[in-house]
């Protein structure tokens, strides 16, 4: 993490939505800003490893978006261009910034998106199947040669509308990330520990339950780890926090000698540190100006919050 | 904690409500069972130190309640008897056990309760002002000679109806415990980190924000500590969890060589371990049959959840 990674080969492939977001908060509104799960996850991962983006942009996708991705060292060979409008999402946060309401979703070019991995991506050791339809996640997974670890994120929409495909994803991934309400919805278990155990029984080696401002919990077959949230005092826009969290965690994992509860917990702590910066401004603005030394400082503070040596 | 504490002098004084509770959960109902903040807090503390109870019982208070307290080694010199009915509380939990609705409250003998500390209690080093009206908390505090540490718990009712007295309590205590919604209500800050900082500015050295199934956060003037929840899979009755948490934490603190972020965080972890047992059965049933070795095991597991040596 000390400097922009120089390893030329892509270590982490991320697929997800590339969007132009309109975000309303009680204090202000950002219109048609860079967003989508793949943007946040790739930007967050870029501080740790060489990341490749799999997504689709419409012909209205702004050049400054691609320029930002390039400046962050993100490999864009897997970013397709399509005729038509880029995916749009609009949402509103209520007073306490935890309640979000989706105001509009326009799939646009995502409707006919068929992800295809460039040869360099197929050999990558790590895959993050960001929040898009499980059918698209499976298409990407089918093209991975022999990944060391595959993580997938999901959301309530797919649990409700694409359950058979989602079940196939769950069966094939090593790490499933989802929020607490989604874990309950997926399993029908109100108790989170039982919900996590049910998911572990369906395939993944690890389950990461995201709890918004309460941080996250990592459940493994033989243990549980707490991933604390960094206490951000100025939350300006929580959009993408979960994607930054997952992206940074997978990026950090690329540097781990092996995958275990210890290294996964440490990587998720890096995810928590980076996600805490992302919410301090709209869109990718804070991530775009984030410095590695800032991440290291928050990481140390998070360790101290758990009583560890800073 | 290895055996029932033998030190004869009271190390921790707890004031709070003594109640007969009727608790409805989706699966079953317990009627007129032993409850109230002082019962849970004293029972939880009894595993760690010599605790004295300050409360009032009506003449219908069952002998088996007092017998249980005595068996746990709780000093009852401060437990008054009054003519009339014991305080009653009735509540109902909805499906996911996090939403609670109060169905009925009868103050009864609590209406004219004037707490008076037996001489032996006045010299105690630790005080826990459990959840009762701030006026009563102040009366107890006024009788403490030179406490090493005073902690107070509170609830939304007092924030809404007894704010001037509560402000005096907040100003005079070392540790304030309250839940996340109450921290927001007390300060008008939606962001928990800011809310905690505002409370620290009003007097206490430490603030403990309880977050139910998400554990707790300890805020000090120069740091933050995460107190994880133990992942209980069978929550039968969450009543009193916050009181057990606070009681066990204060009890554990009695054995600490000095009071610091480190020792307070470790004590709160003991609180988390004990609270996790309390919710496994109605009333004080699980605490009544809890063994110190069980507490030590969960404490070690909680430390491991934070990546520490178990």
Report the residue from B214, B215, B306 with minimal CB separation from A307. Answer: B306
- A300 in contact with chain B, both atoms CB, cutoff 8 A: no
What distance in Å separates the CA atoms of residue A184 and residue A157, rounded to the nearest whole number?
14
**Phi (first) and psi of residue B235, to 5 degrees:** -90, 115
- B200 in contact with chain A, both atoms CB, cutoff 8 A: no
- A100 in contact with chain B, both atoms CB, cutoff 8 A: no
Residue A276 near residue A298, CB atoms below 8 Å: yes
Instruction: Name the residue of chain A whose CA is nearest to B184's CA.
Output: A96
Q: pLDDT for B191-245, tens place per residue?
A: 999 999 999 999 999 999 999 889 999 999 989 999 999 999 999 999 999 999 9
Mean pLDDT of chain B: 94
What distance in Å separates the CA atoms of residue A75 and residue B219, rounded to the nearest whole number?
41
Residue A232 near residue A279, CB atoms below 8 Å: yes
| pLDDT bracket for residue B7 (50, 70, 90) | low
**Phi (first) and psi of residue A225, to 5 degrees:** -130, 140
Burial tier of A107 (Cβ tally within 10 Å: 0-12, 13-18, 19+): middle
Angstrom distances, CA of residue A305 to CA of A15, B226, B228: 33, 6, 11
What distance in Å separates the CA atoms of residue B11 and residue B126, rounded to the nearest whole number?
6
Q: Determine what percent of chain B is predicted with pLDDT higher than 90.
A: 91
DSSP state of B57: E
What distance in Å separates the CA atoms of residue B100 and residue B70, rounded to the nearest whole number?
31
Contact flag B307-A304 (C-beta cutoff 8 Å): no
- B308 in contact with chain A, both atoms CB, cutoff 8 A: yes
Cβ neighbours of residue B63 closer than 8 Å, sequence gap 6 or more: none
Neighbours of B121 (CB within 10 A): 26
Q: HEC string of chain A?
A: CCCCCCCCCCCEEEECCCEEEEEECCCCEEEEEEECHHHHHHHHHCCCCCEEEEEEECCCCCHHHHHHHHHCCCECCCEEECCCCCEEEEEEECCCCCCEEEEEEECHHHHHCCCCCCHHHHCCCEEEECCCCHHHHHHHHHHCCCCCEEEEECCHHHHHHCHHHHHHHHHHCCEEEEEHHHHHHHHCCCCHHHHHHHHHHCCCCEEEEECHHHCEEEEECCEEEEECCCCCCCCCCCCCHHHHHHHHHHHHHCCCCCCCHHHHHHHHHHHHHHHHHHCCCCCCHHHHCCCHHHHHHHHHHHHHHCCCCC
Q: Per this entry, what is the length of chain B?
A: 310
Tokens 């070392």 -> residue? B174
Measured between beta carbons, the chain B residues lying within 8 angstroms of A231 are 192-193, 196, 217, 224
Contact flag B305-A213 (C-beta cutoff 8 Å): no
Residue from A307, A308, A310 to probe the interface with B (highest B Cβ count within 10 Å): A307
Residues 210-229 on A with a CB inside 8 Å of B are 211, 213-215, 217, 223-226, 228
- Supply the ipTM of this predicted assembly: 0.86
Angstrom distances, CA of residue A13 to CA of A169, A251, A267, A275, B290: 16, 10, 16, 19, 50
Instruction: Name the residue of chain B whose CA is nearest to A231's CA.
Output: B193
Measured between beta carbons, the chain A residues lying within 8 angstroms of B197 are 233
- Using DSSP's 3-state secondary structure scheme, residue B100 falls into strand
What distance in Å separates the CA atoms of residue B126 and residue B134, rounded to the nearest whole number?
18
Rg of chain B, C-alpha, whole Å: 18
Q: Is A62 left (phi over 0), alpha (psi -120 to 50) or beta?
A: beta
CA B65 to chain centre: 18
Write down the pLDDT at residue B310.
46
Report the residue from B211, B233, B266 with minimal CB separation from A191. Answer: B233
> Each residue of B223-235: b (16+ CB within 10 Å) or e?
ebbbbbbbbbeeb
* CB contacts < 8 A (A, B): 80
> First CA to last CA across chain A, in angstroms?
17
Q: Which tokens hold the place of A244?
A: 């930054």
Angstrom distances, CA of residue A258 to CA of A71, A262, A263, B92, B216: 29, 10, 7, 48, 32
Angstrom distances, CA of residue A194 to CA of A180, B234, B237: 12, 9, 16
Residue B210 near residue B178, CB atoms below 8 Å: yes
What distance in Å separates the CA atoms of residue B270 and residue B250, rounded to the nearest whole number?
9
- B162 in contact with chain A, both atoms CB, cutoff 8 A: no
Edge-to-edge strand ranges of the sheet holding A12-15: A79-81, A51-57, A12-15, A126-129, A149-153, A175-179, A206-210, A216-220, A223-227
Instruction: Considering only the C-alpha atoms of chain B, give the largest distance between any 2 of them, rounded to a whole number of Å.
Output: 53
Contact flag A306-B304 (C-beta cutoff 8 Å): no
Contact flag A307-B305 (C-beta cutoff 8 Å): no
Residue A133 near residue A162, CB atoms below 8 Å: yes
Cβ neighbours of residue B64 closer than 8 Å, sequence gap 6 or more: none
* CA torsion through residues B266, B271, B277, B280, sign: negative
Report the residue from B191, B232, B265 with minimal CB separation from A307. Answer: B265
Q: Which tokens hold the place of B141?
A: 């505090």
- A304 in contact with chain B, both atoms CB, cutoff 8 A: yes
Cβ neighbours of residue A264 closer than 8 Å, sequence gap 6 or more: A175, A206, A218, A220, A225, A249, A253
Contact flag A97-B306 (C-beta cutoff 8 Å): no
Rounded to the nearest angstrom, the minimum Cα separation between B226 and chain A is: 6
Contact flag A233-B262 (C-beta cutoff 8 Å): no
| pLDDT bracket for residue B4 (50, 70, 90) | low
Write down the pLDDT at residue A187.
97
Write down the pLDDT at residue A2.
44
- A96 in contact with chain B, both atoms CB, cutoff 8 A: yes
What distance in Å separates the CA atoms of residue A252 and residue B100, rounded to the nearest whole number?
40
> First CA to last CA across chain B, in angstroms?
17
- Using DSSP's 3-state secondary structure scheme, residue B55 falls into strand
- A168 in contact with chain B, both atoms CB, cutoff 8 A: no
Measured between beta carbons, the chain A residues lying within 8 angstroms of B223 are 304-305
Measured between beta carbons, the chain A residues lying within 8 angstroms of B191 are 96-97, 232-235
Contact flag B223-A197 (C-beta cutoff 8 Å): no
What distance in Å separates the CA atoms of residue A107 and residue A110, rounded to the nearest whole number?
5
Q: Which tokens hold the place of A166?
A: 């989602």
Q: Which tokens hold the place of B195?
A: 């809310």
Q: Per residue of chain A (310 residues), give pLDDT as tens.
A: 544 555 579 999 999 999 999 999 988 999 999 999 999 999 999 999 999 999 999 999 999 999 999 999 999 999 999 999 999 999 999 876 778 899 999 999 999 999 999 999 999 999 999 999 999 999 999 999 999 999 999 999 999 999 999 999 999 999 999 999 999 999 999 899 999 999 999 999 999 999 988 999 999 998 999 999 999 999 999 999 999 999 999 999 999 999 999 999 999 999 999 999 999 999 999 999 999 999 999 999 999 999 975 4
Write down the pLDDT at residue B100.
87
Residue A186 near residue A178, CB atoms below 8 Å: yes
pLDDT at residue B183 above 80? Answer: yes
Q: pLDDT for B148-174, tens place per residue?
A: 999 999 999 999 999 999 999 999 999
Q: pLDDT for B35-58, tens place per residue?
A: 999 999 999 999 999 999 999 999
- Using DSSP's 3-state secondary structure scheme, residue B84 falls into coil
């Amino acid at each position: 993490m000390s400097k922009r990674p120089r390893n030329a080969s892509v270590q982490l492939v991320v697929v997800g939505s590339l969007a132009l977001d309109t975000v309303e908060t009680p204090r202000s509104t950002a219109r048609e800003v860079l967003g989508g799960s793949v943007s946040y996850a790739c930007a967050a991962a870029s501080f740790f490893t060489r990341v490749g983006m799999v997504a689709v942009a419409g012909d209205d996708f702004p050049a400054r978006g691609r320029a930002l991705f390039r400046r962050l060292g993100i490999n864009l060979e897997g970013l397709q261009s399509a005729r038509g409008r880029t995916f749009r999402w609009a949402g509103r946060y209520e007073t306490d910034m935890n309640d979000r309401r989706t105001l509009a979703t326009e799939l646009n070019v995502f409707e006919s998106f068929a992800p295809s991995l460039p040869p360099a991506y197929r050999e990558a050791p790590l895959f993050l199947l960001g929040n898009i339809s499980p059918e698209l996640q499976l298409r990407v997974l089918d093209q991975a040669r022999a990944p060391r670890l595959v993580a997938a994120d999901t959301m309530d929409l797919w649990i409700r509308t694409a359950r058979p495909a989602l079940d196939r994803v769950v069966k094939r991934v090593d790490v499933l990330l989802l929020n607490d309400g989604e874990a309950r919805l997926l399993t029908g278990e109100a108790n989170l520990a039982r919900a996590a155990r049910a998911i572990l029984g369906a395939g993944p080696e690890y389950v990461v339950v995201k709890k918004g401002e309460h941080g996250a919990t990592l459940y493994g077959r033989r243990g549980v780890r707490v991933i604390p949230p960094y206490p951000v005092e100025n939350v300006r826009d929580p959009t993408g926090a979960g994607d930054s969290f997952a992206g940074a965690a997978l990026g950090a994992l690329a540097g781990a000698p092996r995958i275990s509860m210890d290294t996964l917990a440490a990587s998720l702590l890096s995810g928590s540190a980076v996600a805490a910066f992302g919410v301090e401004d709209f869109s990718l603005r804070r991530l775009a100006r984030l410095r590695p030394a800032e991440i290291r400082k928050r990481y140390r503070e998070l360790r101290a919050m758990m009583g560890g040596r800073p």
